[in-house]
Structures are given as C-alpha cells and as structure tokens.
Structure 1
Amino acid sequence: MIAKHVPMRSVGKSDYAGLVRYITDAQSKDHRLGHVQVTNCDAYSVRDTITEVLATQYANTRAESDKTYHLIVSFRAGEQPSADTLKAIEERICAGLGYGEHQRVSAVHNDTDNLHVHIAINKIHPTRHTMHEPYYPHRALAELCTALERDYNLERDNHIPNQRGAAARAADMERHAGVESLVGWIKRECLEEIRGATSWAELHQVMRDNGLELRARGNGLVIEAGDGTTVKASTLARDLSKPALEKRLGGFEAAPERREVQAKRSYQKGPVRLRIDTTELYARYKDAQKGLTAARAEALAEAKRRKDRAVEDAKKKAAAKRTAIKLLTDGRLTKKLLYAQVSASLGADLDAIRKNYDQERAKHYQGFQRQPWADWLKQQATQGNAEALAALRARDAAQGLKGNTIEGQGRPRPGHAPVIDNITKKGTIIYRAGLSAVRDDGDRLQVSREADRDGVQAALRMALAKYGERITVTGSPEFKAQIIRAAADAQLPITFTDPGLERRRLALIEQGAKPASKRPGAHAGQVPPPQRRHGLRTLGQVEGLRMDGGEVARPTQAPRPAAISEQEQRKAKLRAELEAKKAKRQGKGRGL
C-alpha cells in the first residue's frame, strides 16, 4: 500500500467543499464509489458535514496556508481489504499524522485498477481552532504503511521514493498522461553517452548529436531540447550536476557557437513508447485536440456575439423608454423617478446578460477541454475503439489482474453482452454484474470480493462467451466453491481444467438430478421416516377437541388407523366374536 499527500498548487485552489464533492461523486458509475465515512462531525449527511467543516475553518482567521489536507491511500492491484480493515487503516494513518481528533470525510473508490481511499481532512482542530501541519509527513507515512502492511498481511510496497522533485513529476506525467517526458527520453536514449564524455567539448558534441544543448543557468546547468523544453542536469543524475562535472572535467566551458548540424535523434513530445505502434493513433489524437481548440474558439466567439447583441438590444430598449418619458411625461420629479426606474431595469438586464455569458463560457471551456493522451485513449476505448483499448493495455504500467480470477484457452461463444461501467487507464474493463463488478484485462476476468451468486453466474457467462467451454479458476477456496455451485445451479456448459473442481461440479449436478427423497440431506417433511408415517402429527387428526364451555370440534377427515401387531389383531377379533355372541343371546331373550 502507498499513502500520499496531494498538496494544492496554490491556497486559492484549496476548497474543502469541492474536494468532498469530488471524492463522494459516483460520476454515473455503479462501482466507482464505495463506503463513505464521516469522522468527528456532528452532522449525519455529507452536505451538512461540509457546512460544519467550513464553519470550523472560518473560526481560524490567522492561518494563511492551506487548511485542507488531501490524502490518498492506494493498495496493490488485486488487493481488496474488507470494510473493517479499511476503516482501521484510515483511523491509524490519520492518528499517526496527528489528525486523530480532526474532522474528515473518507471515500473508497473502485474505478481504477488499484482500490484506493480518498481522505479529506480539516487541518483546523474542531475545539482548539489551531492548525496542525504534520512533521516530515512522507517519513511518517512510510513508517505507518510498513507497520500496516505487516499487521494486516498486505503486499509489501516500496515507501522510499527513488526520485524526487522534477524527476518524480516527470515520472508521474508518463505514468498518468502517457506522454514521454524529456527526463525519461534522455535516460532511455542517451544518458550513458552523456556520462561517457571525457571533456567539455565531447560532452557538447554528444548533446548536439541528440538535439540537446547544455548551458549554464544560475549556479547550475540546464539541458534544453529543440522545442524549448528544459531540465536541470542534476535531475537526470547527481553525477551530472555542475560541481560533479567540474570535478571530473575541469572548469565549465560553454559550448561553441551553435552550428546547424543534423542530429541523430531528437526529443519529440509524444506518447511513451509502447509494445505496439501508436503513430497513426497519436496523429488522430493531435488532430482531435486541434479540432477541439478551433471548435471552442468558434463557440466562444459566437457566445460573445450573442452577448454583444443582447447588450445592444437592452440599451436600445432603455433609450426608447427614456425618449418616451421625455416626450409624454410632465413634471421634473416624475421624469426623474421614471428615469431612475429605467436605469435600474437596464442594470438588471445587463447583469443577467453578463451572468448568462459567463455560464456559457464556462460550459464551452468544459465541453471543449483538451484531453491528455491517456484520457483520450480511455474515451475512445469506452466508445468501442479496439485500437485505443489495445494501446491502453500495451502500457508498461499494465501488470494483469490478480486474486479471484477466471480465464480460459478455448474458442469463444459470443452471446452474452454485459454492460460496461468504466474503463481504466490500464485498459481494464469494469462490467456490471448484478450488485458486483467483473474486471477484464484482456487475458482474464476478476470477480469482486462482494460478488453474490448472480454476479458469479454473470462472470461465468462472460467467461463462456470470451474463452469457450474450458475454464481455469484461480483464487481462494471460498471463491472456487462459489464458482462450482454457480456453474452447477445455472447448468452452464463449461468444463473446469482443474480435475478436482470438475469432479465436484459433476457431483453437484448428479446430486441435483436425483429425486428429492434420495438426495443426501433432503428437507424434513417431504417424505417422513417409517417410524413417523402413521403416527399422530397434528391436532386435526384427533376425533374431537373439547374446549371449556364450547362444543366438540370434529375433524373433516378420519385419521388413518395406526399400525397394530398380530397379537393385538387376534385380541380384537376374539373381542368382536364375544360381543356378537352376547348380542345374540340378548336378542333371543327379548324375543327378537
């Protein structure tokens, strides 16, 4: 797991309400937003929590720095801790930073390949109204993450960053935007050549061969590419700093006058090199961005023209009213009052026009916003572009799904078309499967930990349509048992590659085909055991039931006679014969 503080670029952008609204917004996705938790607040809803936190922040009038602390806790791909574990981790991290008593809102997000938790913390204490700033937070977070990984048996991660400053920002740009940075390009293409130079002249020649220029700036050195992009030499490596180079090559010598030399290679700001060729796709992306810029400019110009016409019409309308007042109204005071009303009406109309124009401008800027390369690929993949989806999956950051997964090697059987909920920047498709989610990275399907029987059956149908009949299941024993039961209940025409799983599936199918009376563990009451088949089971089987003060209630159907032994049958027969003889003698005595 990794815990990272996301600082605001400026205090003016610090907006606790906007941050909470972002982390609690589902964005029309079924499985983006998980559990939302409010801590140390009296409010019960997110909206009331925002109001309470803002009131606490306004109580501190001395603090000039950012009053909001945005923290992200991210887990390794495939890790899905339980809700209780996530809550405990959130509490321990906040307490470790000194925010245990502070107001905060946390939200779990599932819309990427890594489950992560956003925490919006109010840095102002709710009772003392003092602001707390953690001391060396990156070290505290590294120690906390190490302890939490050990205590909750999570996959170990590297909590000491190898890069900082500009190098770290360049790596983040390549990972999230998919665009190659100058730092990354130099490290991949010519860093060893630069390090191998034995003189300043040779170093400058290496720079020219790669379309670069080395020059002094301030107390250090910078490297500039042909398009004007610059980077500090020490950002590439510590041994390329000015003191280190002067110690090795002597005093700094500026490059000779620049000559027009054909470089062997040069830096071009484009997509990170992938396993597939994306040249044509990137050209379409650039054309689309240019089209967006032109369309936005045209839309803004049209909005400006409509605003100018509306202002002109409002002024003409006001001028006509003033002319009518001047010609048709008598009395200086009356004219003055009417002129004031016209001016107020014109001001209100102009304010409404400007407000409408500002809203339209904001709408156009949002609608025609330029997209990073990775975001454009994601949008195109969502719309069904197979090339864009392949480009996302070809990125080095894509590592494959882990955990409870399903895969196969057979021939697909199309027919099941699930609903796409989202596509991540690594090319993982998140499908809706009942109340759960199924992820597809192109090689295997991953079923979420909260999947119910309907969700597991939907995942199996997707696997049947994608891989065919032979299915391989990987995961916990509980997940495998759930898969076997779902396959048997749905009577899906699949075969598990694991012989043990296949035997259990066939056993369940055979057990389900037997009559109910012959199944192991049949429900009681369907066929009673022999010792209970002719016994008294309900009050309706007795001859009558006398209630105090009531009548005799008789059953609608005579009960079945209980089974009797042979000895009892002989006694009953003898008793019946004696009764018959006695009745015969009594009948003769009465002359019958």
Structure 2
Amino acid sequence: MIVKKLKRTSFKKSKSVMIGGLVDYILSRMPVTHWILSWQENEQPTSEQVDEAVSLFLRGMGLDEHQTVYALHKNTGNCHLHIAVNRTHPYTQKVIQPHRGFDISDSHNIVAVIEHRQGRAPQLNARYRVNEQSHVVKNLLRREEIKPKPKAEDFENATGEKSAMRIVQERGHAVIQNASCWEELHAGLDMVGLRFARKGSGAVIFVGDTAVKASSVDRNFSLSRLSKELGEFNPGYYSERTFHKPAPEPVSHVCREEWLEYQQERQRVAEKNATPEKSGRKNGEHWSSGSESAGRRL
C-alpha cells in the first residue's frame, strides 16, 4: 500500500486522515473516487511500473496534487491496482470533477498511454490504442459493451451497490436475447428472479418492485422489436420470489469496509450539523407497480 500527498504512511492512519478531510464536505456526493487498473494474466508489473502507472493516470485525470492511496493486489488471476483519490484539493478545498464528469472515456485513453509506455499489449476490446505514429486513436475493432446508463452508475458510485439496471443486464440480457418465444422469455427471467411486463405501449423489467425500462437495457428489447421476433406479446406467470426486493449486491467487494466507515461518518456529521428546518425531507416518490400480487400474470 502506498500513499501520495499524505504525511502519514500507515494504512490505518492514512485512511483516518482522508476520512477526516472528507466529512467537512458533506455537500459533495462522491468526494472519493476509486479506480482499478488491471494487467493481463501473463503480466507482472514491477513496483517502478506501478508507480509510473499511478503517476500517469493521476496526471491525465488532473488529480496529481490530490491525496491518494493505491495498492497492488495479486489475489486473482490478474494483477490489479486499486487507486483511491480524494477529489477535494488539499489547498484550494475545491472538489474537482475530472474532465467535467466525462472521465470514463478519458481513463481508457490514459490506459492506452500506460500500455504503450510500458510496452504492453492492449486488450482486444480496448476503447483506444496507440498507433504507429504514437498517437492515441479509437480502436475501430472494438465491440460495444452493454453497461448501465449514467444515472444508474451514479447510484452505484454513491451507494456501492449494483443498480437495478446492472442486475437486469447481468441476469436477464442473455435470457431475453436468446428467447425464441414469450413463454421461454418469461420462464427464463423467472428463474433468475426477474419479471417482464407491458407498461402502456412499452415494456419494463422488474427487479423486485423496481422497474427498469426494457429498451434502456438494450434498444433491441423494446416491446415493438421483441414482438417482431417473438410474436404478439403474451403475459407470463411469475413465482412469488420475483416480487420481493432482492438483497443488495455490492458492485465490488473492494474497499467495502472503508466505504461503509465513510458513509457512517458522513451521516453522523450531517445529522450533527442539520437544523430541524434543514433536516426535514419529503419522501422521494418511487414508481412501482403497486397493485401486483405474487403469482399473477404480467
């Protein structure tokens, strides 16, 4: 474990320093950002290469002056590097948003630079590569991946838990894509704890009582497109367990303990500073089916 821009070097003390510097900024929803850089199975980076990768990454993100904790793990088939950065600048006290929030694409761009600098082969499905002229260019052979929408990713970043959209994509995408009829689609989704239902002129997929628009999971999953493939929509019968809210699933088990510790401290400070007038909140509205009952057709 290595720390940057922190006076104390032990992990426990460094963690306390970072958390202590964060709780004063409760208006910032996600002051700590966490990235994972992973090497391919046959690659074993040296400590110098790890340091270089972190420096290049932070510089590319505009965070090279920020408090950072990073560690290389070798507990899986791939060496992978965890980088946790305090986005609150230590001197200006401003919370920095790397690349105005559009940091995913830029992070892949930086990875291409790191791979080229260290003479490593890029992933086959990498977003970017470095060409013969040493310019970073888009990888035209890349297949588009299925992933949650930005709003769902915001939820995951704020809670550390999988969004309903990610659960649908992970459990149900292949089921829907490979179904040859409505009966097969409904039966397959029931087996993985999901439900497919018509809503107005469209369709939704339920994770417990949370509805996800089917076409937002994959544009080919709109009711009109599926009806062309599977015929006129027929409702399905779903078991009782699909109507129950599933237990939260972490997006990653990495730094879970630290995340929960920060969330608890953040909540404590917020409650301490809140006045009765400020603490009163209206309950957010959640759209759900409401009238559904277990074992009914949708």
Deviation of 1:170 (Å): 4.4
**RMSD, aligned α-carbons:** 4.0
| Unmatched runs of 5 consecutive residues or more in structure 1 | 1-35, 174-180, 195-203, 261-265, 270-592
Equivalent of residue 103 in structure 1, options 53, 61, 67: 67
1:122 match: 86
Is the Cα–Cα contact under 8 Å of residues 72 and 81 in structure 2 kept in the other structure?
A: yes
Is the Cα–Cα contact under 8 Å of residues 94 and 100 in structure 1 kept in the other structure?
A: yes
1:77 match: 41
Verify: 1:162 aligned to 2:136, yes or no: no
Is the Cα–Cα contact under 8 Å of residues 189 and 196 in structure 2 kept in the other structure?
A: no
Matches within 5 A, 1:187-586: 187=177, 189-190=178-179, 193-194=180-181, 204=182, 207=185, 214-217=196-199, 220-223=202-205, 232-234=213-215, 237-242=218-223, 244=225, 255=234
Deviations 1:228-268 (A, max 9, x none): 9986532664223146568x69xx97647x799xxxxx9x9
Verify: 1:146 aligned to 2:131, yes or no: no
1:184 match: 174
TM-score, structure 2 length as denominator?
A: 0.55
The alpha-carbon distance between structure 1 residues 152 and 231, as it changes in their structure 2 partners (threshold 3 A), is same
Is the Cα–Cα contact under 8 Å of residues 2 and 9 in structure 2 kept in the other structure?
A: no
The alpha-carbon distance between structure 1 residues 219 and 131, as it changes in their structure 2 partners (threshold 3 A), is farther
Cα distance in 2, alignment partners of residues 211 and 168 from structure 1: 14
Aligned residues: 203
TM-score, structure 1 length as denominator?
A: 0.30
Equivalent of residue 136 in structure 1, options 102, 108, 113: 102
- The one of the two structures with greater contact order (alpha-carbon pairs below 8 A, sep at least 6) is 2
Deviations 1:557-583 (A, max 9, x none): xxxxxxxxxxxxxxxxxxxxxxxxxxx
Cα distance in 2, alignment partners of residues 229 and 132 from structure 1: 33
Is the Cα–Cα contact under 8 Å of residues 67 and 86 in structure 2 kept in the other structure?
A: yes
Look up the equivalent residue of 1:169 and give its one-letter code: R
1:52 match: 17
Deviations 1:141-197 (A, max 9, x none): 111111211221112113446111179834996xxxxxxx2333343x42xx25xxx
Deviation of 1:205 (Å): 5.8
Percentage of identical aligned residues: 23
Deviation of 1:92 (Å): 0.9
Deviation of 1:52 (Å): 3.0
Deviations 1:448-493 (A, max 9, x none): xxxxxxxxxxxxxxxxxxxxxxxxxxxxxxxxxxxxxxxxxxxxxx
Deviations 1:340-381 (A, max 9, x none): xxxxxxxxxxxxxxxxxxxxxxxxxxxxxxxxxxxxxxxxxx
Cα distance in 2, alignment partners of residues 123 and 80 from structure 1: 29
1:63 match: 27
3-state DSSP of counterpart to 1:106: strand
Cα distance in 2, alignment partners of residues 47 and 211 from structure 1: 44
Cα distance in 2, alignment partners of residues 137 and 61 from structure 1: 22
The structure that has the greater radius of gyration is: 1
Cα distance in 2, alignment partners of residues 94 and 87 from structure 1: 11
Deviations 1:321-344 (A, max 9, x none): xxxxxxxxxxxxxxxxxxxxxxxx
Deviation of 1:221 (Å): 0.6
Is the Cα–Cα contact under 8 Å of residues 164 and 210 in structure 2 kept in the other structure?
A: no
The alpha-carbon distance between structure 1 residues 168 and 78, as it changes in their structure 2 partners (threshold 3 A), is farther
| Unmatched runs of 5 consecutive residues or more in structure 2 | 128-143, 149-162, 243-298
Is the Cα–Cα contact under 8 Å of residues 169 and 217 in structure 2 kept in the other structure?
A: no
3-state DSSP of counterpart to 2:81: strand
Cα distance in 2, alignment partners of residues 78 and 211 from structure 1: 37
The alpha-carbon distance between structure 1 residues 91 and 221, as it changes in their structure 2 partners (threshold 3 A), is same
Look up the equivalent residue of 2:146 and give its one-letter code: Q
The alpha-carbon distance between structure 1 residues 48 and 210, as it changes in their structure 2 partners (threshold 3 A), is closer
Look up the equivalent residue of 2:49 and give its one-letter code: T
Cα distance in 2, alignment partners of residues 109 and 66 from structure 1: 24
